[in-house]
């Protein structure tokens, strides 16, 4: 089953301009048990995931809890070690490089975390927080760096006055701006934004999404934007990938995905978003049940237990991610 998926995926993976090319990524978390502890089962958090991110592109990675989106992101930066698969970053398989070499790559690949309260050191001022990013990567130059930090703060909408302040003096939105400034400090080529606005209020969410949009244009950033909800990523993403239970079910340009989703799960996910219009008349497709356990995922298509279109064949064959329309990939036997 894996070889099929690889072949199909290689069609997408072909463009040489891909900055990031992920092939057959897997991440299993072993469950130990027994008198003499041994692996009795695996939590298959990420199962055979392949996709590419081109330079300058913003890709949204969307899925609900347990879909494996965060684990995928963390595995890309090797914050958790992938079980198998290749992560080609600019032509080098960083899944295979030594931990020491990986440090150099971390300069190129930065992360913005979900919780701006937990991801900043409460004892460091804004200046120290950003300075640390330079220090760790051996880029610290006391004479010019202060100006550079001020420039960075200006780029994320903060100012010189904020340099000596501590995280507790800032609101959630401002903290997220600090987190973004820290990620940008070392001039990364790739940014992993792991639910950067989920913890923020709606009006602040909009500010941060707009900011990322501006920074993308200003610095030509390549971003993988992880979110649990399709509404947040629409504005910023060129391409959106939808995951379910560790697998990619759909991968398409934004326009095509939102207007004409192919996979029934994407459809359900879109239909589940409450529409802020009391006059709206539409038929909601409410999915029944819960996401199954990743320890023992359903055979065949992992979505079949909740899918309105499922047939017997869906239990037998693992659907391959195929190009159903130009540039629009989906893994479904029925569509």
Q: Which residues bind another protein (CB under 8 A)?
A: 64-65, 171-174, 201-207, 209-210, 213, 228-232, 234-235, 254-255, 258-259, 268-280, 284, 286-288, 290-291
| Angle formed at CA 13 by CA 9 and CA 19, multiple of 5 degrees | 145
* Cβ atoms 149, 132 nearer than 8 A: no
Adjacent-strand bridge partners of 18:
54
* Cβ atoms 249, 333 nearer than 8 A: no
* Cβ atoms 301, 333 nearer than 8 A: yes
Least distance from another protein to the Cβ atom of residue 259, Å: 6
Distance CA 176, CA 205 (A): 10
Q: Which is nearer to another protein, 173 or 188 (CB)?
A: 173
Least distance from another protein to the Cβ atom of residue 83, Å: 25
Least distance from another protein to the Cβ atom of residue 60, Å: 11
Q: Which is nearer to another protein, 150 or 272 (CB)?
A: 272
Q: Which is nearer to another protein, 35 or 202 (CB)?
A: 202
Q: Which is nearer to another protein, 145 or 175 (CB)?
A: 175
Annotate 226-253 with b (16+ C-beta within 10 A) or e (fewer): bbbbbebbbebbbbbbbbbbbbbbbbbb
Least distance from another protein to the Cβ atom of residue 283, Å: 12
Q: Which is nearer to another protein, 116 or 188 (CB)?
A: 116
Least distance from another protein to the Cβ atom of residue 268, Å: 6
Distance CA 230, CA 275 (A): 13
* Cβ atoms 298, 228 nearer than 8 A: no
């Amino acid at each position: 089953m894996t070889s099929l998926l690889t072949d199909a995926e290689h069609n997408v993976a072909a463009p040489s301009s891909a900055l990031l090319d992920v092939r057959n990524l897997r991440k299993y978390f072993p469950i130990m048990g027994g008198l003499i502890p041994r692996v009795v089962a695996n939590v298959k958090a990420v199962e055979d995931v392949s996709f590419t991110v081109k330079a300058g592109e913003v890709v949204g990675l969307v899925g609900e809890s347990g879909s494996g989106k965060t684990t995928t992101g963390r595995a890309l930066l090797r914050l958790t070690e992938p079980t198998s698969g290749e992560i080609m970053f600019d032509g080098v398989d960083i899944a295979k490089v030594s931990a020491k070499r990986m440090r150099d790559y971390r300069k190129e690949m930065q992360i913005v975390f979900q919780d701006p309260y937990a991801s900043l050191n409460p004892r460091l001022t804004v200046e120290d927080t950003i300075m640390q990013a330079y220090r760790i990567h051996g880029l610290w130059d006391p004479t010019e760096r202060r100006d550079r930090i001020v420039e960075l703060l200006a780029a994320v909408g903060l100012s010189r006055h904020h340099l000596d302040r501590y995280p507790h003096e800032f609101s959630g939105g401002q903290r997220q701006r600090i987190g973004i400034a820290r990620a940008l400090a070392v001039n990364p080529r790739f940014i992993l934004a792991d639910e950067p606005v989920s913890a923020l209020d709606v009006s602040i969410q909009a500010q941060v999404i707009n900011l990322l949009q501006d920074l993308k244009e200003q610095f030509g950033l390549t971003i993988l934007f992880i979110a649990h909800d399709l509404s947040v990523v629409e504005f910023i993403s060129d391409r959106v990938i939808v995951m379910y239970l560790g697998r990619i079910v759909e991968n398409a340009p934004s326009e095509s995905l939102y207007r004409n989703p192919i996979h029934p799960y994407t459809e359900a996910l879109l239909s589940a978003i409450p529409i802020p219009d009391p006059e709206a008349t539409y038929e909601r497709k409410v999915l029944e049940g819960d996401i199954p356990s990743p320890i023992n995922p359903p055979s065949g298509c992992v979505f079949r237990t909740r899918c309105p279109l499922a047939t017997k064949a869906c239990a037998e064959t693992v659907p391959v991610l195929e190009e159903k329309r130009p540039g629009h990939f989906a893994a479904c036997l029925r569509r």
